[in-house]
Amino acid sequence: MDKGFVIIAQNTDLVNYVQCAEQLAESIMRVMPDAKVSLISDDKTKCKAFHRVIKLPHGDQAPDSDWKLINDWQVYEASPYEYTIKLEADMYLPASIDYWWDILREKDLVVSTSVRDFKQNISHVRTYRRFIDDNELPDTYNAITYFKKSETAKKFFDIVRHVFENWSEFRDTLQCNPDEPATTDWIYAYACHVVGVENSTLPTFNDMSMIHMKQFINGMPSEKWTDTLVYEINQNTLRVNTIPQKYPFHYHIKSFSAKLEESFK
């Protein structure tokens, strides 16, 4: 089975996303030594955890902006694998998810449909889901997306591209802030709606989920959870307030990648 993980990451003036991707790749290789991980980026890296480093096949579509999400659709063409799990750069894998492949391989496309708090509970907080709710779209999270080279997945990413490139036109027909740029979560949800949730999600597979460290999901006083919670990183586990993290960990605070880097030395 030709399978692998891909991470799309482009540095901005404010965030070193490639550093985040490097630490994610290191964490994958630590818990799944036989895994393949590719970076999709126009930025350079010396990280040996990457199987391949691949340039954006259509180049940077937002060269003068820090809003690089518009390039996300290129992941389908850029992935060198027949079966791909795409992960957002600012994540960490505390445990193997190798068994996912056996469940996902029967599908052409699966976008995750749940997030959890650091206590491992599935979150029902809707604070960050207003666009989804207002427009009655599938409740999906692009941070973990599986796809197989297939007509369904190609159609999905063609839709993602079309909406990103024509956002001003789509925005006029949707319930949203007219001045706010499109997010990948929004556009993935729209694309899932078009191709059908039955063709793009697998809600019965609850393990395809992530810890999301945003403020209200975790009942925190601020977004910077690293100032409020106690955490421990070592070669065997990541604990937050003594709780071992079992799912992909979306740490959200990008500076946390430097703490992860220290743990791999």
Average pLDDT of 93-104?
97
Tell me whether residue 21 is in a domain. Answer: yes
Query: Across the chain, how many H-helices and E-strands are there?
Result: 9, 13
Tell me whether residue 242 is in a domain. Answer: no
- Rounded to the nearest 10 degrees, the angle between the axes of helix 256-263 and helix 17-31 is 40
Q: How, if at all, do strands 249-250 and 210-212 pair?
A: parallel
Average pLDDT of 104-131?
97
Mean pLDDT computed over every residue of the chain = 94
For residue 236, CA distances in Å to 5, 30, 91 come to 21, 9, 17
Tell me whether residue 218 is in a domain. Answer: no
Coil vs helix vs strand at 49: coil
Number of structural domains in the chain: 1
Domain extent at residue 21 = 3-113+137-205+253-263
pLDDT at position 212 is 98
What is the value of pTM for the model shown? 0.96
Is the per-residue pLDDT at 64 higher than 80? no
CA distance 68 to 160: 14
CATH of the domain at 74: 3.90.550.10
Tell me whether residue 22 is in a domain. Answer: yes
Name residues whose C-beta falls within 8 Å of residue 77's C-beta, 6 or more positions apart in sequence: 57, 58, 157
Q: What tokens does 12 get?
A: 């901005």
Is the per-residue pLDDT at 140 higher than 80? yes
Q: What is the C-alpha end-to-end distance of the chain, expressed in Å?
A: 32
Tell me whether residue 247 is in a domain. Answer: no
Is the per-residue pLDDT at 98 higher than 90? yes
Tell me whether residue 174 is in a domain. Answer: yes
Tell me whether residue 10 is in a domain. Answer: yes
Is the per-residue pLDDT at 9 higher than 90? yes
Tell me whether residue 129 is in a domain. Answer: no
